[in-house]
Structure formats: structure tokens, C-alpha cells
Structure 1
Amino acid sequence: MTGDDRGGEPRRPRSSTRRLLVVAATVLLTLVGAGGLAAARTGSFFAERPEGCAKPDRTMQLYAVELPKDGTQVRLGYGLTPQTASYPGPTIEMTEGECLAITVHNQVPAATLEQLRTDPAHPLGVSLHVHGVKYTQLSDGTVQSGSFVPPGESRTYTWFAQQRNKKTGAPGTAGHWWYHDHVVGGPHGTQGLGAGLFGGLVVRRPGDPKPDRTYTVVFGDRQSINLRRGAAADTCDAQQPQPGPTCLVARKGEKVEFIVVGIGNDMHTFHLHGHAWADNRTGVLPNGEPFADLVQAIDNKPLGPGDSFGVTVTAGDSVGPGHWMLHCHMQFHSDGGMSTMLHVLDENGNMPPGHDHSHPAGGTAAGATTGADTAAGQHQHK
């Protein structure tokens, strides 16, 4: 009998049906894996938001722009506005349970992206890839998922800071993380990272202590801190130091939080003179901590590529104001200029007289600030 037992349409032979399924699966895998992903980019295959994120609690605009070159090195940065773009980009803060929608506007010229491309077949664009929090394929920030932003276009990425769940054992997402490009130059965004498309993310749990200041410190290849080294790593104004990627400053007694990130291929350690911190998730021990004796106080911590962790210290605690060195403790790295300063002012915001400081003149990266006061790696705070 060639028809259905109930008198319906003739049935296909099983081998024919199997071939159709194989062809359909092959087409689907080709679409998902090829990188073009027209269907995926319109959301045909993947959920727009992670489970637990019914709708965004907050929105943010983030701009990817080209910055002035560092010597011959192309520099790119993220910013909350095109005018405030920098490397590292702005520190993003979330609370567990929060859903954040970030719209990325790609204002990097196509010619610049073409210059950074390592494969002529690789598409031009930038992206936003995050560590630590939850997202779907549409917010993965890769060519493979089609979730990148071509030149002159915009795209919204949705992040969910999943809560800790004691019933299921889910650890939550509270911690110190980072975000970066995953597309510029090649499928892993290596040229985007090297140009400056990265920034810090901190996810807090309700009730976590909040710092007075937060800095993102990115240790990379060629003995760099935030892609700078030597005198270029610390450019605080002598009279009015303003917090920023190249100026780490705090008043005595302030809680200072560092989001420490490793990029590139080298191993490092993070060391801060005169200060120690609790080696736990927040860097501090809350009052009544039942396991306080099990938490070690440290002042040096290893850091590998892709790693991130948080450090919280009380600026100048028992040691007073001054210029406290922050550096990698691998000696040939620090000798090469992988060092900067945490400038601790007094309670009134002044640096006591006589607190001059200097940086090694060697190891200065291309594009370092020039002038009589910085050419030798020296400047003063009064």
C-alpha cells in the first residue's frame, strides 16, 4: 500500500525523509556556523534575553570610536559618549538580579577596521563580549553568532546578572569581570583588545560594601598597564590630579576598589605597596564575618590572560598619604616599565609637601607624554 492507512497522502519512503532531515540540519548548521547568520541576527533562532530577564531594568548607550594614535599604534575605545571614549572603557556596575540592555554604536571608520583586519574575508565590525554574567547567542559579541556591529550601525546587547540560588546551587554572578571586543581584526578580536576595546564590570550582591572609588587596571603584553608603561602609565596633573585611566588617586581613608584584568599572553602578579586586602570576593571582611580567620590577607596576587578579580583597600590606612607603587612583581616586567602609582592625598585632598616621586625613564611606550617633567619620568604633587 502506497497511501496512508487512513486514506491520506502517499507516505514518503523513510530513506527520503531521512535525507530531507539531514539536508535541513546541514543548512541550519551552515547558517549558524558560517558567520553571516542573517537569520540569527534577526533573532529567528535564538532568544533575545536570558531566562530570568523578562525585560531590561536599565538601558545604556556605549560608543566605539577611534582615538588618537599612540605613535603608530591604532587606538580604539568605548565611551558613554563619543567624546568620553577611553581605554579602558567606562566601568559598568550591576546588581545581582538586574537585566541591562546596552546599545553599542560603532563609529570606528571602516578604513581603520580594514587596516586592523588580518583576513580579507573577515567581516568589518566591532562587538561587545562580556565575562561573568548571562547572555544569549544574540549578545555573545562574535562573528560566529552574527552578533557584531558593522561600521556606522548599532546593536543592543542584553546582560543578566543572575542571582545566587541556594536551592539549585547556582553561584550567582557577583564578582569583578570585564568586557571587550571579540571581532576586530579576526574571530577572537585580538586586534580590538590590542587597540583598547576593553573595560571593567563589577556585579554586586545586595548588601555588599560599596567603595568610594573604582579603577580598572588591565595588565597586558609588552609590560603594559592599560596599554601604557613607564611614565606614560601615570600622568596625574601635578596641581589637580583627576581620576582616570592614567591617574589613580584617592584621599586617605577612602575605600578604593580595583578591577584587575589580564589580557594578552603573559602571566603577571598584581602588587600594591603599603596596602593589603582580604582574599575573598569583595576584598573586605564585613563585621561579624563568621569565617574571618579563614580569609587570608594578601598584597600580591597572580593574574593570567583572561583572568579578573577585585581588590579593595583603605587608602593610606596606617601608612598615610604618599605615592604608593602599583606594579607587576615579575621583575623583568616591572623593570620594563610595568608600574604606576596610587596617589593617596590627605583628608583635605592635598599631597603633603616633599612627596615627590619618579618613574623609571626606561620602558616608556610609544606615544608617552613628553616634556621636561615627564621625559625623565618625574613629576610632583604639591
Structure 2
Amino acid sequence: MTPRPVGRRAVLVGSVLAMTGGALAACADERGGPSAARVIGPGSDEVRAAELRRRSPGQRVHTERLTARPATIDLGSRTVQTWSYGESVPGPLLRTRAGDLLRVEVTNQLPAETSVHWHGLALRNDMDGVPGITQKAIRPGAPFTYEFTTSDPGTYFFHPHSGVQLDRGLYGVLVVDDPADPGDYDLEWVVVLDDWVDGTGRTPDEVLADLMSTAGMGPGGMMGGSMRSPVLGGAGDVDYPAYLLNGRTPDAPVTLAGKPGQRARLRIVNAGSDTAFRLALAGHRLTVTHSDGFPVVPTTTDALLIGMGERFDVTVDLADGVFPLMASAEGKTGIALAVVRTGRGTLAGAAIPELSRQLVLGSDLTADPAVRLDPAPVDRRLDAVIAGGMMRYRWTINGAMFPDHEPLDVASGERVRLRLRNRSMMFHPMHLHGHTFGLVDGGARKDTVIVRPMQSLEVDLVADNPGQWALHCHNVYHAEAGMMTVLSYGR
């Protein structure tokens, strides 16, 4: 494989971090962008002040350790060489209470630079884990300590924001418990979905190189009629050899055990890099209670469509027997599987009619009244036009590939309406760091939302977390091929 040039994000380490740290002179660039003195960077007083406002006297401190390293992992049907946090995929479950200070000491034992991004959390900007925008990458052999307040309860996850490392085994779940949660369920299951290629003859870096060099038509990727979804259009770029649920392939699934009549809460995370999953439990209906950590008006459905980076909490009242919990790779061939066992018996086939019945997406949900954004005039309107295609494997926001982007400028305290306009034939799960947004007219509070082909979504957000924040497609290959920009706070 021909070595890749230095990654686009690495180019920004000197330029963006220097600028946002206030090291450059106060002069506008030739495109008329904000001057260095006006940009609120990750090391600014405003970021420190925002974090101090989150803290409280007697705040509990929760300390964890993560080591990113090469590992040999048993997936069930195969054993692979990959990179992971510790001895398993997913990595360790981290858990705090809302309001806790989380301190995570990370050691990099990889042969490459890395980082940890805390996906979905409205945290301090200098702890967001995006090399070139909020920090310098963690060098091989070096430590880095992330420390921030976990203000909002919910289901989150963590992963690198370095190249395509997410498409290895470097991810885990972070649960922030709500002290006011009524706890109207009997047991809790964390369900992590993933598409898997590492150690099966290719690495994610080789897949990206194939996509970039062959416009998606080589052995690393395949796009066209065989990878299409009636709901999402183009369903992905990579034909994966395996799909996982909690780190296991379907022929060696995990078992989730309960008793008839119990109510189970499932915290579902799509940690995949190129695949949306359609999830259902045979013989049951699912009630969606939370999306991306925030409560929604409870919505009961047969199946749930989950884009990359999205998280959903659902409850289900368990029947008596043995049932497949299946996540079908949307528009692709393959499934991830777990077994739900509440009684005696064996798994009777893999047919799940619920998968083809009522289907709910995150954009179909309504925010719980307690978390809806207050009505307010819109101070600023921004467009993010997302486009690209397989022929050149060039993915853009507002016509530019990151890092050659125009930032989306905001000021602290503004109410911002962001219009996400998809001008491609593929779906894009768009993720905004450091904030949640509300789909207009009372839609769910989210940080990641599917924008379908040739459609648009409008979302509102409050610019209340100063810094420099990535906005990107959570298809990791699209992001690496340019589909990223920055929501940039200025003074």
C-alpha cells in the first residue's frame, strides 16, 4: 500500500491551535474570516469560565484509566489483531452521575498518534479530543488526562478522533446516570453495534486508501445498486465481512438474560463507521424513551433505525422464551445478533418480522416537554450544504473539504438555526460536538441526526458552550475525505 500523506486533521495542529490560542496577530485572513484575536479557542478564558460554571462545591470526582494498545480479540467466529482499550471490544463501560467531574488518564501504547473524543457530551472545549482543533494528538508512548464535568445525564460513547481509528476496536460506552431517574425498569442492557473489518485481511487505513484511489469501486469499497436502502438511499461505501453486537459475531452471540414480565432498559449505541442498523426484538415492541441522551415523548415501534453515532434508550416488557435481538445492516447483507433469554427453549430460527413493520428514525421523535428548547427569536441562520460522491471520493460541506473550510461563525448567547442540506445520493449522520440541538417545531434534542438523500433538516441550538467545535458526517470515511467543518465562536 502506498503510504498516505499527512492527514488533513494533522495539518491543523499548528495552524488552528496556534490561532485559537491567540498566538497570532489580530488580522483577518484573505477570505474575510475572523481575526485570531476574535476567535475563542480551546485555551481561552471563556472556555475555563464555562467549565467553572458547571462545577459545584463538593463535586464528586470519578477517576478512570484507558490504555489504547494493539490487542488480540476473540469476536466469536474469528480472532483478530486490532487496537482496543484494554482486553475487550467494546472497551470498558465508564459510569458517572450527572454533575460529577470525570478524570480519565489515557496512555497511548499504539504505534500511531491518537485521541479520545467524548461523543455527545456538552463538555469543555479543550477536552473534546479533536487533534488540530481542540488539542494536539497524543503521541505514541505519551499520556494525556481528560478532565471535565459530566453535566447532562444520558447514554454517550467515546472513541478516537484520529483518522479512521474508530473502525478498529477503539470505542466504549459512557453512561451518565440521572439522580432523578424514576427507575421504572427492572434491568439494564448496554447494546453496542459495530461493522467490522480490522484483522480480516484489511485495515481501516487500507480501506480508506482503496476508496480514495479507486473512487469506491475497488476491493476496499463498493457502492451501487447492491448497497441501497429504500429509506436511506445509498447505504454505505464499505462491504464489511462482519457485524458485531457487544463485540460478538452472530454465530457466537451474547446472551441477555431476564425473567418473563420484567421491563428491560436497553441503551443502544451505533459505534459503526459506515453502517446504519435496523434493530428489532422478535415477539416484542420497543418503546423509545431517549435519543442521544435526552428524553423524548415515549414512542412505541416494531423497529428502530440507528445511524452511526446515534444512541437510543428503549424499554421492552419481556415475554417468556428465547428471542433474537437483531440489528440488520441497512441496505447491506449481514446482521448483528444477541439472544434474549427469559425462559427455557432454543432460538427458533432468525426470522424477525418486526424488522419489516413499523420503523422509527430519530427525526421522527418529539422532545419531552421538559427538555424542549424555549421559544426564542433566531439570531443567526447558518447553512451546511453536504455533498459529494463516489466517483472522486470527495465529500464536502459548503463546497469545501476540511481543512480548507469556511467556519460557521457564531457568538455566545445566540439562538442559531442550522439548516442541514443534503445534496448527495447518500445519507449522512451529521454530528455536532459540544452541543445538543432541537429539531425545529418540537423535534427531539439530539447531537447526531440522519439527513437523507436530497433532503434538508433544520435544527436550533443555543450557542452556550464557547470554543471551536467540529461538525461532521459520522461516516468516518466521509469525514476523512473532507466532510467536516467547525462551529466557531468569536468575541
TM-score range, shorter chain: 0.5 to 0.7
Q: Tell me if 1:157 matches 2:146.
A: yes
For each residue in 1:229-270, what CA deviation from the matched residue of structure 2 results, as whole angstroms up to 9, or x when unmatched? 9x83352xxxxxxxxxx5132122453523232532333322
Match of 1:170 in 2: none
Q: Does the aligned pair in 1 maintain the 2:282–2:323 contact within 8 Å?
A: no
Q: CA deviation at 1:219?
A: 3.8
Structure 2 CA distance for aligned equivalents of residues 29 and 56 of structure 1: 37
- Deviation per residue, 1:130-155 (Å, 9 max, x gap): 12223223211121122532212211
Match of 1:266 in 2: 275
Query: What is the aligned partner in structure 2 of residue 58 from structure 1?
Result: 62
- Count of aligned pairs between the two proteins: 267
Aligned: 1:174 with 2:141: no
Q: What residue identity is the alignment partner of 2:67?
A: Y
Give the number of the structure whose alpha-carbon radius of gyration is greater. 1
What is the match of residue 3 of structure 1? none
Q: TM-score, normalised by structure 1?
A: 0.58
CA distance in 2, matches of 1:65, 1:211: 36
- TM-score normalised by length of structure 2: 0.46
* Superposed counterparts of 1:210-221, under 5 Å: 212-220=187-195
Q: What is the distance in 2 between the residues matched to 1:222 and 1:212?
A: 35
Deviation digits for residues 298-340 of structure 1 (CA, Å, limit 9, x no counterpart): 23111122222122334xx2x312142422274x53xx33131
Q: CA RMSD in A?
A: 4.1
Matched, 1:247 2:254: yes
Shift in Å at residue 129 of structure 1? Answer: 0.4
Measured in 1, the distance between the counterparts of 2:88 and 2:324 equals 24
Percent identity for Structure 1 against Structure 2: 22
> What does residue 196 of structure 1 align with?
169
1:266 partner amino acid? T
Q: 1:98 is aligned with what amino acid?
A: D
Deviations 1:80-101 (A, max 9, x none): xx4xx32211222232222211
Matched letter for residue 199 of structure 1: G
Aligned to 1:321: 321
In the alignment, which residue of structure 2 is the partner of 1:225? 243
**Which residue of structure 1 aligns with residue 125 of structure 2?**
137
SS in 2 for 1:263: coil
CA shift in 2, pair 1:44/1:72, >3 Å: farther
User: Residues 227 and 75 (structure 1 numbering): CA distance in 2 closer, same or farther, change over 3 Å?
Assistant: farther
Q: Which of the numbers 126, 129, 150 marks the counterpart of 2:114?
A: 126
Mapped to 2, the partners of 1:305 and 1:298 lie a distance apart of 20
Q: Does 1:87 align with 2:76?
A: no
> What runs of 5+ residues in structure 2 fail to find an aligned partner?
1-21, 29-34, 196-237, 352-491
Q: 1:47: which partner in 2?
A: 48
Contact 2:249 2:336 survives alignment (8 Å):
no
SS in 1 for 2:90: coil
Superposed CA deviations along residues 328-379 of structure 1, whole A, max 9, x for unmatched, are: 274x53xx33131223143xxxxx35x156679xxxxxxxxxxxxxxxxxxx
Over residues 201-252 of structure 1, what are the superposed CA-to-partner deviations in whole Å (9 max), with x where a residue is unaligned?
22232232165342232243645433899x83352xxxxxxxxxx5132122
In structure 1, what is the Cα distance between the partners aligned to 2:72 and 2:146? 27
Which among 295, 298, 303 is matched to residue 295 of structure 1? 298
In structure 1, the gaps of 5 or more residues are 1-20, 114-124, 163-172, 236-245, 284-290, 347-351, 361-382
The one-letter code matched in structure 2 to 1:217 is V
Q: CA deviation at 1:278?
A: 2.0
Q: Matched residue of 1:104: which SS?
A: strand
CA distance in structure 2 between the partners assigned to 1:205 and 1:308 by the alignment: 16
CA pair 358-211 structure 1, distance change in 2 beyond 3 A: same
Contact 1:282 1:311 in 2 (8 A): no
